[in-house]
Structure 1
Amino acid sequence: MRIIQSSTSRPLDRLTIGPGGLIVAAYSQFTAAGGAEAWDASTGAPVWRIAFELDAFRYCSFLLGGAYLFVSNFECDRLFALPPGREPVEVSQTKGGNENAAADDRVIVARGGVAPALSCWGVPDMNVRWVRDREDRWNSDTYFGSVALAPTGNRFALSVYEGLAYPKQSVQVRDAAGGELRVSVPMDSASPVRQLAFTADGVKLLVRTDSRKVQMCDAITGAPVGELVHPGRSFVTGIAVHPGGTVACTRNDGTVTLWDTEKGKRARTYDWKVGKLVSVAFSPDGALAAAGTEDGKVIVWDVDL
């Protein structure tokens, strides 16, 4: 286990690991500056930093085998090329304020509000592959939350809020090739969806809310297929899926629990006594894992499953 310290003490609730062990972490709110920082996982040395005028990062992800990094905040969405041994080079910028998910050669963009729409952009040209706006008859009080792409690449999921005073909440699974709705799962509007993730085989959808449970649904039918229930009262703050299928959950009591989702059983729990954890991620090859703390640390460990 290794500890990397950010230049700014802030919750690092946006976290991703690229090929070669490059770790990028950022904070999703306006209350602390610091940008998106990158470190070498093996040495902990800082590599570079990306700063926006408004340092509130919604999303960050490596694309095309680590050749690009997509980052978004409330101001804009940006795509950066990552030349080896050099600073990131911005190659595209579009208006922000969207919810996103990105993988391989595509970015899913969910824009709510006055003119709700879903779209898919190709990487690296950021050309629009498809748009859905009128087909679903959304109203101006429709907003989108978490978005997730399945590792299999054939579907994506997003949380949908309809209505302002007493919004209805649902999780939708859609076809990634054109955005068509496949299934909609009603959710309790009193428990906002904080994060979505598919299992490694794309068969199950994991739903995280502000609780000690992670709900699991069948990604095709939407039927409930179990829960990952953690002991005690501390709630889950982040989930990540290992390429081999194991699911990692961080909690605000400072622990990381690894789950076997097939059996619905806890496989292992880590507690490094480093304070509250707010995010977790695996490297693409599954050899490394990292967790972000609420005070600007990144905990890195070698995965042994």
Structure 2
Amino acid sequence: MSSELKHWYLDATVHNDRVEEVYYISDPVQNVRRSRQTRVWKVEQLLGHGSFGQVRLEKNHEDGQVRAVKRITTTSATLSNSECEKELKALLEFSKPKFKEAAVFVEFFGWFKDGYDIFLAMEYAPLGDLHKNLVANSGKIPETEARDIAEQILLGLEIMHAESFAHRDLKPQNVLVIHGPPQWWVKLADFGLSKRLTNTTGYNTRAGTQSYMAPEILDFLNPYEPRSDYTNAVDIWSAGCIVYRLITGVVPFPRITSLIKYCEDKSLFPYDALFDSGIKSEGSKFLRQLLVAKPSARPSAIQALNHNWIFSGLSPTSSEIGYNTASHAGLQSDQPLLSSFSQTVLPPPSAPKISPPSNGTTLDPYPIRSAPIYAQDSDSQTARASSITREARSTLKGHTGSVWSVTFSPDGKLVASGSDDMTVRLWDSATGAPRGILKGHTSSVWSVAFSPDGKLVASGSNDMTVRLWNLATGAVRGTLKGHLNSVQSIAFSPDSKLVASGSNDKTVQLWDSATGAPRDTLFGHTNYVQSVAFSPDGKLVASGSDDTTVRLWDSATGAPRDMLEGHTSSVWSVAFSPDGKLVASGSCDNTIRLWDSATGAVRGTLGDYTNYIQSVAFSPDSKLVASGSDDKIVRLWDSATGATRGMLFGHTNFVQSVAFSPDGKLLASGSRDKTVRLWDEK
């Protein structure tokens, strides 16, 4: 047994209903050295079973910790000869600190044995696997969510391939869900068929699951030639099959015959389901290249991560991890660099994002949903050298989950914040002291807003409700029910009489704030509504959606007034300028657009970003636009020229929300780092 295996071995005794694990603690203060302790894990339930054995849930009732334990029945009591050795070695490799930071592999806690049975203790994912979650979401998910999952899977493959491992059994059942929609977090699991390539071994076993198995494993490329070794490109094929299914609800080649015919005739790529899904051209081309029949023509994992479809929404995760992304030498991979896979920086919005592959692969034409691309006003191209940076005046801590929304009270004395911890918190804006906690939601609070008359606080939640709270007492005044999915955004009309709410049910609802009665439902968006805002005169409602559009509605009649098209990805935030002349929109295409509210024309595009724009807000004098982004930075922009006026550093995770105080002297920001920060604007 290697020293590494010994390091992860748990001294445990297995009983039918429990596992007793021995460990030792030392405490220099108490002069305690190697005090023997026993931790008892109760077997709670069976989670799954198969030809390998079973997976069960175990719980330590002392501290409430849970774990999933995979029991593998082997044919030998000697670990080096057991069938689980490959999986154990993979778990050990990707539990190293430098890989654990990537947060894309199921956590491994150790292993123990009982006779011929080997037990692997791992992280428990209560939400189950990706297959189960797909079924719960009608079999498919929005393109933007599929892209996020694809990025995480590819990041895992980049690490595995750099360490000479191939997974060889990628499928939705082997991808665990840590957090569900719309902000998916997934991890790769089940390394039972994974294998590490060495100088003397190759990949030649027919392994995997047919619907996700690459054609070279099945000998469909050269059926009349002897079987030859294949490469880690089989994982890229499987990833393409998973993403295809996420978007369309079906696998690309459900029958063996369809895959055989595709390998013989490349024109038979299954575009129909992609057409029906409404996927953008970039996504279609991305899948077409991952699912090229010839292994050497597929991109590597790192090339796929740099494809424009992925790169436009890439989080900073991969650039912050210190693993070697260039150690593919000796991997028996022959992957030419495709010209449509960027290795440096994303081209500007006006540049073509896809060009034909340089290796001779022909991509079938796909109709592009055209949208005008606008350059910034010439004044906005001014040098960024005048930008300044500042530190936060205070950091408000108390939330135990990501902060999704922040806002100021009309008098500027309070800040409200909504969080994943299901609460709304009130803070003193002058001192940063907590002033109250509003509890009642049963899931994440995505949005908060004060009524302009200062009497109410509204909160929109993943529990599909809007709650109205009495600001003076903290009591619930009403719960507004009617949405069929998560409420992503809320806003009050200037006279405080209406509440607008945007939801993942693709609608905007207008409510009477006094009675809680629904006033109107605005239909038109074809995907999740992520943000809503009233115009300063209350006559218009703006909404931003994952369908890439901003829509303007008549608040009195509910009639559509305009549709602002130009963004090439989800619109997550909209705001009116206080003077009523502009609408700002922040998007996953990494730009902020400023629109003329009267004509719908684009007045400027702010594009100094490489990450999603989560939130936008105007200063009270309409001269500045603040924005929060996945790059953890709050930026200030000149709304007239587009020049950067400031960059505020301090958050350690995505900035989800920004808001100006009514007097314009303070700026609040909320982040996934669980904090609210207050900044002096001047």
For the aligned pair, the TM-score class normalised by the smaller chain equals 0.7 to 0.9
CA drift at 1:34: 5.0
Judged with a 3 Å threshold, the aligned counterparts in structure 2 of structure 1 residues 270 and 143 are, in CA distance, closer, same or farther, namely: closer
Does the Cα contact within 8 Å between 2:576 and 2:584 map onto a contact in 1?
yes
Larger strand proportion of the pair: 1
Q: Counterparts of 2:500 and 2:596 in 1: how far apart (Å)?
A: 21
Aligned to 2:394: 3
Pairing of 1:80-229 with structure 2 (within 5 A):
80-83=469-472, 87-95=473-481, 96=483, 97-98=486-487, 99-104=489-494, 105=496, 106-110=498-502, 113=505, 118-128=508-518, 130-132=519-521, 143-159=528-544, 169-187=548-566, 191-229=569-607
Judged with a 3 Å threshold, the aligned counterparts in structure 2 of structure 1 residues 11 and 267 are, in CA distance, closer, same or farther, namely: same
Tell me if 1:46 matches 2:434: yes
Judged with a 3 Å threshold, the aligned counterparts in structure 2 of structure 1 residues 143 and 2 are, in CA distance, closer, same or farther, namely: closer
Task: Give 5+ residue unaligned stretches, structure 1.
Answer: 162-167
The residue type paired with residue 477 of structure 2 is: V
CA drift at 1:157: 1.1
Judged with a 3 Å threshold, the aligned counterparts in structure 2 of structure 1 residues 142 and 239 are, in CA distance, closer, same or farther, namely: closer
Aligned to 2:447: 59
Q: Counterparts of 1:252 and 1:58 in 2: how far apart (Å)?
A: 16
Larger relative contact order (Cα-Cα within 8 Å, sequence gap ≥ 6): 1
Judged with a 3 Å threshold, the aligned counterparts in structure 2 of structure 1 residues 53 and 280 are, in CA distance, closer, same or farther, namely: closer
Q: Counterparts of 1:160 and 1:255 in 2: how far apart (Å)?
A: 23
Does the Cα contact within 8 Å between 1:191 and 1:210 map onto a contact in 2?
yes
Aligned to 2:404: 13
Three-state SS of the structure 1 residue aligned to 2:565 is: strand
- Which string of whole-angstrom CA distances, capped at 9 and with x for unpartnered residues, describes residues 24-58 of structure 1? 1122xxxx425111111222211111223423113
Aligned to 1:239: 616
Judged with a 3 Å threshold, the aligned counterparts in structure 2 of structure 1 residues 118 and 240 are, in CA distance, closer, same or farther, namely: closer
CA drift at 1:119: 4.1
Q: Counterparts of 2:549 and 2:616 in 1: how far apart (Å)?
A: 19
- Which string of whole-angstrom CA distances, capped at 9 and with x for unpartnered residues, describes residues 231-275 of structure 1? 5x344332111111111112333332221211222222333x342
Judged with a 3 Å threshold, the aligned counterparts in structure 2 of structure 1 residues 186 and 47 are, in CA distance, closer, same or farther, namely: same
Q: Counterparts of 1:142 and 1:302 in 2: how far apart (Å)?
A: 37
Larger helix proportion of the pair: 2
State which of 416, 419, 425 in structure 2 corresponds to 1:24.
Answer: 416
CA drift at 1:15: 0.8
State which of 69, 76, 79 in structure 1 corresponds to 2:468.
Answer: 79
Q: Counterparts of 2:527 and 2:632 in 1: how far apart (Å)?
A: 35
Judged with a 3 Å threshold, the aligned counterparts in structure 2 of structure 1 residues 288 and 103 are, in CA distance, closer, same or farther, namely: farther
Larger radius of gyration: 2
Q: Counterparts of 1:290 and 1:117 in 2: how far apart (Å)?
A: 28
Three-state SS of the structure 2 residue aligned to 1:286 is: coil
- Which string of whole-angstrom CA distances, capped at 9 and with x for unpartnered residues, describes residues 190-231 of structure 1? 611111112222222211112432012222222222111225
* TM-score normalized with structure 1 length: 0.81
Does the Cα contact within 8 Å between 2:614 and 2:657 map onto a contact in 1?
yes
Aligned length: 281
Q: Counterparts of 2:527 and 2:412 in 1: how far apart (Å)?
A: 40
Does the Cα contact within 8 Å between 2:637 and 2:645 map onto a contact in 1?
yes
Three-state SS of the structure 2 residue aligned to 1:66 is: coil
The residue type paired with residue 552 of structure 2 is: V
Q: Counterparts of 1:145 and 1:297 in 2: how far apart (Å)?
A: 22
Aligned to 1:165: none
Q: Counterparts of 1:216 and 1:143 in 2: how far apart (Å)?
A: 21
What is the aligned-residue RMSD (CA, Å)?
Answer: 2.7
Q: Counterparts of 1:110 and 1:204 in 2: how far apart (Å)?
A: 20
Three-state SS of the structure 1 residue aligned to 2:453 is: helix
Amino-acid identity (%): 24
CA drift at 1:21: 2.1
Judged with a 3 Å threshold, the aligned counterparts in structure 2 of structure 1 residues 34 and 17 are, in CA distance, closer, same or farther, namely: same
Three-state SS of the structure 1 residue aligned to 2:571 is: coil
Does the Cα contact within 8 Å between 1:150 and 1:198 map onto a contact in 2?
yes
Aligned to 2:274: none
Judged with a 3 Å threshold, the aligned counterparts in structure 2 of structure 1 residues 143 and 248 are, in CA distance, closer, same or farther, namely: closer
